[in-house]
Structures are given as C-alpha cells and as structure tokens.
Amino acid sequence: MNKEIIFSLESAYREDFKIEGFSFGKGDKTCCIVGALRGNEVQQLYICSQIVKELSSLEKKGAIAHNQSIMVIPSLNPYSMNVQRRFWSVDNSDINRMFPGDKNGKTTQRIAAGIFDFIKEYQYGIQFTSFYIHGDFIPHVRMMETEHKNVSLASLFGFQYVMLRKPKPFDTATLNYNWQMANTNAFSLYTNETEVIDEKSAQIAVSAVLRFLSRMGVIKFQIHGGYMSTTLEEDNLMSVHATEGGIYRRIKQPGDEVLKDEPMAEILHPFDGSVLEVVKSPTNGIVFFAHKSPLVLENSVVYKIIKRLHV
C-alpha cells in the first residue's frame, strides 16, 4: 500500500487542503474507489476505510493481480467533514455538482478539476454517495442511463438491485456522469445511513466491491453470496408523499413488503401528539427507500416503492 497526496491547495490561515489516496498493486489504472464527497458522509468514509484495510491485507498476501492497480480515495472533502458541514464550508457549494471542474474557477471547481484529471483514466470507477433526501435505501448499485452504461458489469457486485437513472440537467455535473463520459465504467453504490455508521450495510458494500474486483480478475479472492441482480428504472418507482407536516413515525423499513392500503408511517401533531395522517401504501410492492428524519414537511417524499408486476 502506498499513501499519496492526490490533490492539494494552499491555505493562508490554516493547514493546506489535501486529498489523500491509497494505492494497491502496480500497472494499469484498473479501478478507482471514491468515498465521501460531502462533509456528512461518515458511512461512505467508513466503508472506504474498511476497503483499504481489506486490500492492504490482500496485497500482503500477493492477491492483487499482475499489472492491475487500485486507488482508494476515502474523502474528497475533509474540510467540511472536520466542521461537520455537508457542503463546502465557505460558500455551501456541492463538490459533486462541479465535475468535470474548472482549474481557474472557484475552490470547489478547482478541487473537482484536480481530482477528475487524476481519476478519469481508470477503467472502473466506484463511488460511495448519499441521496439528496434524508433516508435509507435497500443497498444497491446505481448508474446513469447513457450510451456508456453497462448493466451486466453492474450486476457483478451482487446487489439485489441495479438502478438506472435518466440524467437530468444537474446530473451532468456529477462524478458518475462525467466518469461515464470519459469512458470509465462508473457505478454509484448506496447503503443505509449517511451521518452514522451502519455496520450491516457497510459490510454488504465492502463485500460487493471485493466480489466485483474478484469477478473482474483484479484480485485473487474467493467470495461467495450475492444476488442475481434485478434491473430497475428510477422513473418506475412509485413515490409516496406525506400530505401533512409534523413528527414522522416510520413503520415500514427498506426491504419490507407492503400491501395496498397498508399503513407505512404516521404523521403526528408536534404539539399535542394527535395523528394527523396515516401514510398508506398506494400499491402492492417492496419498500425501496424510506424517509428517516424525525420531522417531515407537507408533500415530502417519504417512501419509494417497487411495484409488483403481478398483484
């Protein structure tokens, strides 16, 4: 294992901004694994730390294939993580909306440009990221639906689901999209939790990465388990909205099966505790995403459901 500085910026008033990476093996730029782009992505940082630990052990055993190299970058935003801010602490900008970056632009654009120049030539790109709505998913792999997508490769992680997302205008500035445009096979991996560590889904994610690397011949490692992945399109998920705002009491969890009109959550009056709304399932299906914050606003998405094809 080699530890190296991937990118740095001088700072006038504090320690220089540095992004560190850990490399394993030698030769072709095979796979780059990226963790926290935002300051609250503790789960994503933790998963990368466990991957570094596993790859370090495998490298000592000579289990990295010949002429293959793996790069792990646990965090692209340590400044924001240090001050517990989700976005860049100076101007509240999101690094994952700045790719491919601009070397002469504002700070987050320069960070994105410097990082992207370093990682854009890798054959495979794996990113651990978080959703814009606070909540939990069934662990899955997601990719942009472009001409560069490769669903068969995504299924090699062994997740239960592969999610395809049609790019919206703001997606064109994300790492996943720009990796694909640079001909990298790019995958975004989602697990439960963001701001706290969930050991169970973290281990699922670590095993999925090792399974993918093993199946691609990058590491010599025998790992069992995993699913025959089902491919879903994000537009086909059914969103369930809260019609009232208040205290949110979740009943159904990601992965739970639900029947039409079955209670999924309750919205309570924040002052007197009365039930303002019982959120019910609009269809038979499986809970794919569930809102988690203790408070909810009117019209917020609280669940996303995989509809049953045959009911």
- Give the separation between CA 266 and CA 275, rounded to whole angstroms: 7
Q: For the segment 147-176, what is each residue's pLDDT rounded down to a tens digit? A: 989 999 999 999 999 999 999 999 999 999
pLDDT tens digits for 25-63? 999 999 999 999 999 999 999 999 999 999 999 999 999
Average pLDDT over residues 115-131: 96
Give the pLDDT band of residue 311 (cuts 50, 70, 90).
Answer: very low
Looking at the DSSP bridge assignments, the partners of residue 286 are: 257, 306
Taking alpha carbons only, the member of 169, 165, 202 closest to residue 187 is 165
Whether residue 119 contacts residue 180, with contact meaning beta carbons closer than 8 Å, is answered with no
Dist. CA 179–CA 172, nearest whole Å: 10
pLDDT beyond 90 at 71: yes
Residues 127-155: pLDDT tens digits? 999 987 888 999 999 999 999 899 999 99
pLDDT tens, residue by residue, 80-107? 998 889 999 889 999 999 999 999 999 9
Q: What is the model's pLDDT at position 55?
A: 98
What the chain holds in terms of domains, given with CATH numbers, is 2-233 (3.40.630.10), 237-307 (2.40.50.100)
Interior angle at CA 140, CA 63 and CA 39, nearest 5? 85
Average pLDDT in the chain: 94
φ, ψ of residue 217 in degrees (nearest 5): 75, 20
Q: From CA 170, how far away is CA 91, in angstroms rounded? A: 18
pLDDT, tens digit (0-9, with 9 covering 90-100), for 249-274: 999 999 999 999 999 999 999 999 99
Contact 134, 43 (CB under 8 A): no
Predicted pLDDT at 83: 86
Question: Which two three-digit tokens encode residue 30?
Answer: 């095979």
Residue 302: which of 234, 230, 254, 261 has the closest Cα? 254
Distance CA 47, CA 41 (A): 10
How many CA within 13 A on the CB side of residue 139?
A: 25
In angstroms, rounded to a whole number, what is the distance separating the alpha carbons of residues 9 and 102?
14
